[in-house]
Homo-oligomer: A and B are copies of this chain.
Amino acid sequence: MNILVIGGDGYLGWPQSMYLSRQGHRVGILDNLARRAWDSEGRTGSLIPIQALPERAALWKSLTGRVIETYVGDIQDYAFLAEIVRRFSPDSIVHFGEQRSAPYSMIDREHAVFTQTNNVIGTLNLLYATKEFCPQAHLVKLGTMGEYGTPNIDIEEGFIEITHNGRKDVLPYPKQPGSFYHLSKVHDSHNIMFACKTWGIRSTDLNQGIVYGVKTEETVLHDGLATRFDYDAVWGTVLNRYCVEAAIGKPLTVYGAGGQTRGFLDIRDTLRCIELAILKPPRPGEYRVFNQFTEQFSILDLANLVQRIGGHKGLDVTVDHLPDPRVESEQHYYLARHTKLLDMGLVPHNLSDVLLESLMDVVIRYRDRVIEETLLPQVNWRSTRNPSSYSTSGLPSGEPVEKELQAAHNGRGGA
């Protein structure tokens, strides 16, 4: 099968590309290398050293004999995108190619506008290119569980049957996204659903949970095939940040009460889920949604877990509660359905002590590379001008975020 992986140089795109290449598919990576540029902008970096795209692709070839084609460019440039799609002739397109950080989208107006334009227009271009040049291709789009927010009822997979005033319909599940990034994914979902209905193209929208782990059957083949590990407050996910904090002897930074509950999954399950979606495509015109995660945890559960595993490694781990820089419920009901991928054959890797110890070992190995000042939140949801290295507006910046957060914290009566 010809599979085009958009964003194939990123944390998940790169292991996914190797995985699919190893299954014998023809794989092409289309990437604008934006993720690397954002590290320069924010003075952040992957804890694990990673190679440049041409090097890692060449290494993959020398180790396995398999070719991963690479195309460097931006899907907002339609002439470029159209040319690659036409030449590559994909059967499936896996779309990781978006700005994926909620805090990044909340820095200021410029970053919000960038995120929504980049993600929504990029995906819109992809829909047009699919319709025009490969209308049979299957678009596998990465969404996020964060599109749903935290409703007080069970979260279903994309659609919900509603009975109302004696009548019934199955309708798109109502969305309550919590950042301009999450909103961009909701906009995407609506655009894709419409394109499937109107043009008869086919798509799977994967509302993915938070992915952890860096070891896959392919990344472990050689240090030069490693994928990135982000731990800072803008790009890192909560479990990664905790591991780094534990490894360098800092308290774990729990935002607020810590009852925020989310779906999580192992990186190996991500690879397999996307493979399953590809192998069983929807019918023409079908738009289907899978919730792609395997377990639910609160962010306090995870802190307690890291504290315990840290103990096994001889680390003295403490837990700190910061005022929450986000606007979100710190205690809420959460039960999200995720059976469709299981029904298709997914066998989950649950978050075990063994996995977490292995992750901790990786972090300890590279702990000298940690940039400490990136660990604390610099982006406050309540401010429209966050005074960080990210500010690009040239306008006078606001109050230091710590002060604002503390004020918000105190305003809540010290909860």
Contact = CB atoms under 8 A, between A and B. Distances in A.
A151 B169 contact: yes
A388 interface: no
A121 B198 CA distance: 24
Interface string A199-232: 1000000000000000000000000000000000
A333 interface: yes
Interface in A258-295: none
| Total copies of the chain | 2
B128 A124 contact: no
B112 A116 contact: no
A142 interface: no
Given A177-B190, A187-B187, A121 B116 contact: yes
B175 A151 contact: no
A178 interface: yes
A341 interface: no
A255 to B, nearest CB: 15
Interface stretch (A18-26, A45-53, A157-165, A307-315): A157-165
Nearest to A393: B78
Interface in A169-192: 169, 171-180, 183, 186-187, 190-191
Contacts of A389: none
A121 B190 CA distance: 17
B167 A176 contact: no
Given A167-B333, A171-B174, 7 more contacts: A113-B125, A116-B124, A128-B384, A152-B169, A162-B164, A172-B175, A180-B194
5 contacts: A132-B385, A153-B164, A153-B168, A171-B176, A172-B176
Closest 9 CB pairs of A and B: A171-B174, A152-B169, A109-B128, A153-B164, A187-B187, A198-B327, A153-B167, A172-B174, A153-B169
